[in-house]
Structure 1
């Protein structure tokens, strides 16, 4: 009798006078009586098919029996550095002890170094020989003439050399400045980022306005130049350049109107009068329509900086509206005799680092028979625009864009699970070099979306301190001290500047993206560029809002943690380093597989210099940061010193932190979802390299410290998504659909509805 149910088992076994074996089994064996489960087990045994027990792996997930057999039968591979490019890096086995913050059901955590896709990229062995270096392609030419020799007046030239860091003109400045001083033709200025395009058009305009001796130009004279920029940060930077020039000639008054500030204060500035105005398109169009005191009748220069980005952000219609209002209100013909030194017509200048079709379309809107000036490949020519009947654009020269010759571009092919720990190792290695050299330096890390910036900022500033100004009771002076982020009256305010003891005790991390207030964005940039001997290493986590035109000093390293959406975005990102002849380093993270094709298809074109494009082993980065110090050699890391265990431990601490902090866990989940949606928005011509359908979501979730893929991946995450989903379907709700397909559809809607640039 059975102990569990008290029932007598009465199995009726067929009696045919023979022994039942696997060889004589019958498919029609019948078993009667007892429980169904017991009958089923006995029947399988009689047929020679015993039920195999399921083996459970990490996180209590059952392992398929057939897979288990394949793993047992799989022959061991010979240890060869040729068959396995990472065989030189020996790893120790890592296990997590059971505890309250362990895996599911107190199971072991899955390793970072298992089941990773191998890279197909051949990585050359490191050579001890010195690599070839190239002279800077965007440096000032010390053998060339001075600014005075280009036609700039002596007072302005002396101010540039004595009080600013402009000693010699760059190549693009040598071409543009003399041309803009004498021509009345529209100009298309094309040069690689960091080559000095901004000063190339500002100096001639400032010089022309200074030289009006007959009727000295001042605040009350009116507005003579407008400079349009795609971002507020770039507008602030150009405005600061004009303020510096204003010190040598205070009669010329610069002004600025951008989004994020009160229109009332901007109107008050415009009412007092400005001569050169820096603006973003949306805010300028608003003032042109609603601010009566803004007089544009004498406008002689209209400059569009970063023209490709203006088009990318969809400002063509706004720019067309601005130019029409300027044309309708122009009174230049009535004052030709009064301002004899100024152009007799409005000169339009379009500046861009690229010459794509969208830029040419923008040129069609504002340029009239323009002249092209370019230093790429030491050529210059004329850009020709067809009439409006065809709408086509032709050029007599094709100009490609390249990275600066002195910039070193490294590519890391990193498996998705190892991305986060490799980013930490990269920043630690940079901090160690800075500490050894004793010099200060800055780094920028680019992410694809603001949610990812916020999350990674929190990860790397755990246990960090914030800066707080306090008044010394004895001396009465104000000083800055470090306090815990919790020790603040502004609990609702999100901190954007914290120390990072996880990387290095002398490191500060800042975050910058379009969702922050304009005041915060301005303050962060000011603090980031400020020298601080106590913190020689400063790191900026940001989106592409900081990739265009910003001249941030002493940027030695640029890390593209998330791949750029276009190759032009890549050029602008890395252009924050290696500016005006300085050395620079850039690192791009790519996933194994399809993304590796991006190297040959795109990167080798914009990095044509031999040995400037280098593929680096991620194991080298990890072993350098996490390897145990060799006791016999100071400051050297032993590559065989359990670096993989330390790397896994570091990542495990992030996972445990998320399990203990529900707010951080929600941020991680939201950042992962936003990252996937941003990844889905790569241009169609680049889907061959960045295909969201082929991502291993589980492994990628691991890089966000998540032990499983968020269940709300395909759900809507914002009211904008709700609104646009209904609009797309005619106001009706969608039926149930596959979560992955829904995620892809919502990704397109989210990106179209919520721009990262809040101008």
Structure 2
């Protein structure tokens, strides 16, 4: 098989984008696109659809939010219309939330065709999933670990009839060390198939996977410069490490009417900060890998609907998710890798809208800030602060911090995990690929709800 360098290449240019009809899509798909208000193809769609519809394998290199899901879903659905039989396509995604989002888009685009789609991820009942697989879906969207569980343990389930394999966010899949599981899956699917590999970056691991799984691919590359959008205003706040919490609360307090995502490096901080916000009277909800799947979907649903103004999340929410109307992204912890910063702040300023990002920088983070600025090609501006107001908040924030620590200690002492339920075996990324298989119950989402006390500094 040819290498990435030998693969034929199609690169988007500045020519006017064609219509979906001119790309050769059938009427049922055109009707679905119209109902979803998809009027004009994006660059990745207009570049990849013609070769995909012609039966070629595709390597798609494009950043999050560029319309990649429709770019691979539309040719699969069109071929399914022409040849409707059995399990037709399998899509592998790195996180549960992204898998659900892809599944929903397949169902929306294929609504007029009667497409049956099944989402197979960790954190949900294996038995219920086995029943869903027995109903012969056309498309399976899965995290690699849980799909491999079913291939090994679910009687009657196989991928022998598969016509399409999609590896979405391939760089992220391999970052999470799903490589050995993907190798297992590749061994049990037909060699005669179409394969689409989509990735934000072409790492050496992705190039190796491409050589192993694709045949004579067309490489479609758009948005080659890995950067942030022009409508995003980027700020930093330089603070001592021991004042991170009070400065974060100050920022949220001063932007209280906005929809905010706060990114942390650890599950512990995501949970601790969400309890602090609840104690101080803010409507916040946590999202991280140690919540059950129903809690994670519930948290996303409440944030998307506006029921909660603040989402405190780990990087499980940084890639692929389409969360509309996020006004501000805050980095409580500055990311170690510049590309993670770009993915995080990409949750705001989407689809031409404006947005803000604010990164907390301590004395230990200066080099990381400079590295990020070099990658994005611009200097961040210093966010203005009111030292007197921060000082007024300090006592209440310290008290809220003690409440959060005590509550988490009580949960641990009573055998409850950070999600508030009984301790579960971890499945952070959806099956054995991201940890031990998790067979938990569907707890209600943990909400950061009614305040315990009002903040003195709250406006």
TM-score w.r.t. the length of structure 2 is 0.82
Structure 2 residue 382 is the aligned partner of structure 1 residue 616: yes
In structure 2, C-alpha distance between the alignment counterparts of 1:660 and 1:614, rounded to whole Å: 34
Output aligned runs, 1:79-94, within 5 Å. none
- Paired residue for 1:445? 262
Structure 2 equivalent of residue 155 of structure 1: 28
Which residue of the partner structure matches residue 353 of structure 1? 200
Q: 1-side partners of 2:404 and 2:60: how far apart?
A: 52
Compute the displacement of 1:294 (Å): 2.2
Q: For the residues of structure 1 that align with 2:142 and 2:327, how far apart are their CA atoms?
A: 30
Distance 1:661 1:179 in 2: 54
In structure 1, how many angstroms separate the alpha carbons of the residues matched to 2:435 and 2:231?
A: 31
- Counterpart Cα distance in 1 of 2:111 and 2:403: 55
- What CA distance in whole angstroms lies between the structure 1 residues aligned with 2:331 and 2:24? 41
**Equivalent position of 1:246 in the other structure:** 110
| Offset, 1:409 | 2.1
| Residue 383 of structure 2 is aligned to residue 510 of structure 1 | no
Q: Distance in 1 between matches of 2:200 and 2:437?
A: 23
In the alignment, structure 1 residue 595 sits paired with structure 2 residue 365: yes
Query: In structure 2, how many angstroms separate the alpha carbons of the residues matched to 1:405 and 1:309?
Result: 25
- SS at the partner of 1:540? strand
Residue 198 of structure 1 deviates from its aligned partner by: 1.2
Matches for 1:168-179 after TM superposition, within 5 Å: 168-179=40-51
Q: Does 1:190 align with 2:61?
A: yes
**Cα pair 2:262 2:329 within 8 Å, conserved:** yes
User: For each residue in 1:110-162, what CA deviation from the matched residue of structure 2 results, as whole angstroms up to 9, or x when unmatched?
Assistant: xxxxxxxxxxxxxxxxxxxxxxxxxxxxxxx996332112221123112212x
Counterparts of 1:320 and 1:249 in 2: how far apart (Å)?
32
8 Å contact from structure 2 (residues 238, 362) kept in 1: yes
How far apart are the structure 1 equivalents of 2:299 and 2:343?
20
Contact 1:255 1:277 in 2 (8 A): yes
Structure 2: state its 5+ residue gaps. Answer: 1-13, 414-422, 426-431, 439-459
CA deviation profile, 1:332-361 (whole Å, cap 9, x unmatched) = xxxxxxxxxxxxx31111111112222223
Report the structure number with the largest CA radius of gyration. 1
- Contact conserved, 1:512 with 1:541, CA < 8 A, in 2? yes
Q: 1:199-251, CA deviations, whole angstroms, 9 ceiling, x for partnerless residues? A: 11111111221234xxxx2xxx211110001111111111111221232222x
Change (3 A) 1:660 1:358: closer
SS of 1:227 mapped into structure 2: strand
Could you tell me which residue of structure 1 aligns to residue 127 of structure 2? 264
**SS where residue 162 of structure 2 aligns?**
coil
Q: Is the 8 A contact 2:276 2:404 kept in 1?
A: no
Decide whether aligned partners of structure 1 residues 657 and 228 sit closer, same or farther in structure 2, where only a CA change above 3 A counts: closer
- Cα 1:169/1:757, change in 2 over 3 Å: farther
Q: What are the Cα deviations for residues 437-481 of structure 1, in whole angstroms up to 9, with x where unaligned?
A: xxxx522110011111111111111164xxxxxxxxxxxxxxxxx
Q: Distance in 2 between matches of 1:657 and 1:425?
A: 14
Distance 1:585 1:183 in 2: 42
Contact (CA 8 Å) 1:514, 1:758: kept in 2 or not? no
Which whole-Å CA distance do the structure 2 matches of 1:178 and 1:647 have between them? 57
Establish whether residue 585 from structure 1 lines up as the match of residue 356 from structure 2. Answer: yes
Would you say the 8 A contact 2:336–2:368 is kept in 1?
no
Alignment of 1:660-699 (within 5 A): 663-664=406-407, 666=409
> CA, structure 1 residues 662+150, in 2 after alignment: closer, same or farther (shift >3 Å)?
closer
The count of residues paired between Structure 1 and Structure 2 equals: 410
SS at match of 2:219: strand
1:459 maps to 2:284: no
Q: Conserved in 2, the CA contact under 8 Å of 1:308 and 1:358?
A: yes
Provide structure 1 residue ranges, at least 5 long, that are not aligned to the other structure. Answer: 1-140, 331-344, 378-399, 435-440, 465-499, 501-507, 624-643, 671-717, 721-752
Q: Give the TM-score, by structure 1 length.
A: 0.51
Residue 755 to residue 224, structure 1, CA distance change in 2 (3 Å): closer
Structure showing greater relative contact order (alpha-carbon pairs closer than 8 Å, 6 or more residues apart): 2
Alignment of 1:340-739 (within 5 A): 345-377=192-224, 400-431=225-256, 434=257, 442-462=259-279, 464=281, 500=282, 508-531=283-306, 538-592=309-363, 595-605=365-375, 607-608=376-377, 613-617=379-383, 620=384, 622-623=385-386, 644-657=387-400, 663-664=406-407, 666=409
Over the residues paired in the alignment, what is the CA RMSD in angstroms?
A: 3.0
Separation in structure 1 between the aligned mates of residue 89 and residue 155 of structure 2, nearest angstrom: 18
CA deviation map 1:472-526 (0-9, x unaligned): xxxxxxxxxxxxxxxxxxxxxxxxxxxx1xxxxxxx2110111111111111112
Where 1:326 maps in the other structure, the secondary structure is coil
SS at match of 2:327: strand
CA contact (8 A) 2:329 2:356 kept: yes
Q: Secondary structure at the match of 1:411?
A: strand
